[in-house]
Structure 1
Amino acid sequence: MVDIIHRVGIAASADEVYSALTTNEGLAKWWTTDTTGAGNVGSIIKFRFDGGGPDFEVAELQPDSVVRWKHSGEMPGPWMGTEVSFHLSRGDNQTYVLFSHSNWKEPSDFMGHCSTKWAVFLLSLKEALEKGEGKPFPNDIHIDHDE
């Protein structure tokens, strides 16, 4: 199995970061504006990008500390069986987010694309919390001309 891992420091409290990762409103400010279903463990979050997109089951919530989702659905195919997690820790004047998208079956061009897009969206999370406005889809940074 192969994992995508990123780490970013955000000048915000762990509570503010946690809220941005666990509420529809928070998620819509940095990943995709079309987000529904965020809630307690067992909830299914639907992230839509021009109508289609992944669903994730909320697998673990530890306030101000851990958010973990299990891919729940058939799209995109290479994400089947993967998990996304956000581990939060406090640093001087910031909260560190250690992100992972784990359990990929094998490295691929699509995995490389997703790794770069996750970095783009984590920087969008940072901007949303530090500047009040992120760049969620459809206003995200495009990394190729097929998007």
Structure 2
Amino acid sequence: MFEINHQVGIKASPEKIYHALTTDEGLTNWWTNDISGAGNVGSTIKFRFNGGGPDFSVTELVENKTVRWKHSGSTPEAWMGTEILFQIQAGDDQTYVRFTHSHWKESTDFLAHCSTKWAVFLLSLKDYLEANQGRPFPNDVQISH
């Protein structure tokens, strides 16, 4: 199995980061502007990019510490069976977000593309929380033409 792994330090409280990862309002400010369904464990979040996109079931929430989703849709096909984990850890002068997108079946060009895009969106999360200027899709940094 293969995985994407990133960490970013954010000058925001664990509570604010947790809110940005667990609510429709928070998620629309850094990932994509078309999100519905964020909520408790068992809820399904629908992330849309120009009408299509992945669905994730919320499988674990530990307030201000852990957010875990399991891909529950049929697109993108390469994401089927994958999991996303956000681990939130308070530091001395910032809070660290450790991101993992795991259970990829193979290392492909698409996995490499997604790794870069996840870095872009994690920096959007940072910008949203530090400067209230996230860059969710469709205003995100484009990495290919």
Q: TM-score, normalised by structure 2?
A: 0.99
Post-superposition shift, 1:54? 0.2
Q: How does 1:67-146 map to 2 (within 5 A)?
A: 67-145=67-145
Q: CA deviation at 1:85?
A: 0.5
Equivalent position of 1:33 in the other structure: 33
Q: Partners of 1:100 and 1:41 in 2: how far apart?
A: 19
Instruction: Structure 2: give runs of 5+ residues left out of the alignment.
Output: none
Is 1:64 aligned to residue 64 of structure 2? yes
The residue number in structure 2 matching 1:5 is: 5
The sequence identity of aligned pairs, in percent, is 64
Aligned equivalents of 1:15 and 1:73: distance in 2?
29
> Over the residues paired in the alignment, what is the CA RMSD in angstroms?
0.4
Deviations 1:10-33 (A, max 9, x none): 000000000000000000000000
Which sections of structure 1, spanning at least 5 residues, go unmatched? none
User: 2 CA distance for matches of 1:68 and 1:17?
Assistant: 14
How far apart, CA to CA, are the structure 1 residues paired with 2:33 and 2:24? 9
Task: Give the AA of the match of 2:73.
Answer: G
Moved over 3 A (4+): none
How many corresponding residue pairs?
145
3-state SS of 2:121 partner: helix
In structure 2, distance between residues paired with 1:140 and 1:122:
11
